[in-house]
């Protein structure tokens, strides 16, 4: 028999999917986090969600072992992961309040404080080596590998030109209008934003498409040893491509598509772009997410240090 609380959870998840337009992955995550709380608290109705139950649940989460990393067990569940549970609960409680259902106020749940994120960054010189790596390999490669190298060059240039997420770049089709300097992309939460194409990105994409003999829909496709496969490149494949060229460029740090996205943001901010514009170009829902870049791109602080330090 379905309890009142389970029915409300089901309706909330439908609301998150249909009315809020969130992805199925988000819906499934919310389901997991909220169900975990229900099972821990052993409650059946919304009035049973209390401050004490939340406090006990937080203690429970804080004492859970973390996931294994490189074969070693983390001591506790990460604060970020603990907060994901609490964010899901707050969203559920806000939904109940909108429907006029008596329960605990969402404002009663504070998130755990987390350490400021450290950014994985590469230097400008390393970035330039990465972007030029396909050109270097092309000079020594077999002619049959040229199409693949042209594709990879276009991928790297597009990443740095636009700051796209990995999943967003994978989703692009070949009917991209290269007569314009911009195009629209559908990102997280089905939100559409505009991203911009540099001349070098447009040139790399044109050269790659000119070499293609197929009519397949995806912009970036897989190649086999015998020629074109035609399948859309997967996120994992693109991660491997970026890693391959980072190694070829002699970069010892771990380089991923997200590291290039970091480079895109820090490049803009270092050269004077305002944070609101960068937020829009990255597709961040919350400006606090974009602010992780500001402490490493504050030109004024750098100039003050240069002017006054050790004089």
* Catalytic residue annotation: 165, 188, 258, 261, 284, 293
Among all chains, which residue has been given the structure tokens 């959870």?
Answer: 9
List Cβ<8 Å contacts ≥24 apart for 100-104.
Answer: 101/8, 101/46, 102/46, 102/47, 103/46, 103/47, 103/49, 104/49, 104/50, 104/51, 104/54
Please say whether the dihedral angle defined by the alpha carbons of residues 18, 22, 27 and 33, taken in this order, is positive or negative: negative
Alpha helices in the chain (DSSP H): 4-18, 24-41, 51-62, 79-98, 124-140, 146-162, 166-170, 199-211, 235-248, 257-270, 275-282, 287-290, 299-308
As given in the structure block, the two tokens for residue 207 are 């050269």
As given in the structure block, the two tokens for residue 52 are 């004490």
Distance CA 91, CA 30 (A): 9
CA–centroid distance for 48 within its chain: 36
The greatest distance separating any two alpha carbons of the chain, rounded to the nearest whole angstrom, comes to: 77
Distance CA 176, CA 197 (A): 11
């Amino acid at each position: 028999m379905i309890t009142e609380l389970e029915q409300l959870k089901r309706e909330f998840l439908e609301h998150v999917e249909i009315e809020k337009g969130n992805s199925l992955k988000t819906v499934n995550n919310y389901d997991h986090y909220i169900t975990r709380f229900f099972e821990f608290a052993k409650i059946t109705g919304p009035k049973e969600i209390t401050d004490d139950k939340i406090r006990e649940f937080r203690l429970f989460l804080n004492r859970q072992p973390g996931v294994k990393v490189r074969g070693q067990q983390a001591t506790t569940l990460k604060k970020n992961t603990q907060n994901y549970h609490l964010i899901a609960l707050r969203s559920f409680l806000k939904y109940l309040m909108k429907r006029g259902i008596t329960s605990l106020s969402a404002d009663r749940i504070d998130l755990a404080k987390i350490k400021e994120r450290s950014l994985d960054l590469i230097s400008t010189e390393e970035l330039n080596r990465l972007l030029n790596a396909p050109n270097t390999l092309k000079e020594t490669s077999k002619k049959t590998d040229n199409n693949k190298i042209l594709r990879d060059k276009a991928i790297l240039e597009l990443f740095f030109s636009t700051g796209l997420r990995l999943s967003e770049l994978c989703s692009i089709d070949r009917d991209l209008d290269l007569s314009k300097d911009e195009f629209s992309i559908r990102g997280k939460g089905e939100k559409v934003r505009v991203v911009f194409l540099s001349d070098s990105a447009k040139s790399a994409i044109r050269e790659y498409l000119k070499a293609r003999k197929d009519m397949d829909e995806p912009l970036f496709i897989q190649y086999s040893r015998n020629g074109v496969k035609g399948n859309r490149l997967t996120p994992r494949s693109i991660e491997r491509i970026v890693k391959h060229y980072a190694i070829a460029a002699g970069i010892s740090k771990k380089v991923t598509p997200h590291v290039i996205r970091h480079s895109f943001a820090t490049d803009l901010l270092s050269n004077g772009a305002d944070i609101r514009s960068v937020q829009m170009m990255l597709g961040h829902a919350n400006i606090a997410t974009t602010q992780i870049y500001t402490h490493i791109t504050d030109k004024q602080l750098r100039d003050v240090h240069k002017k006054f330090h050790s004089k």
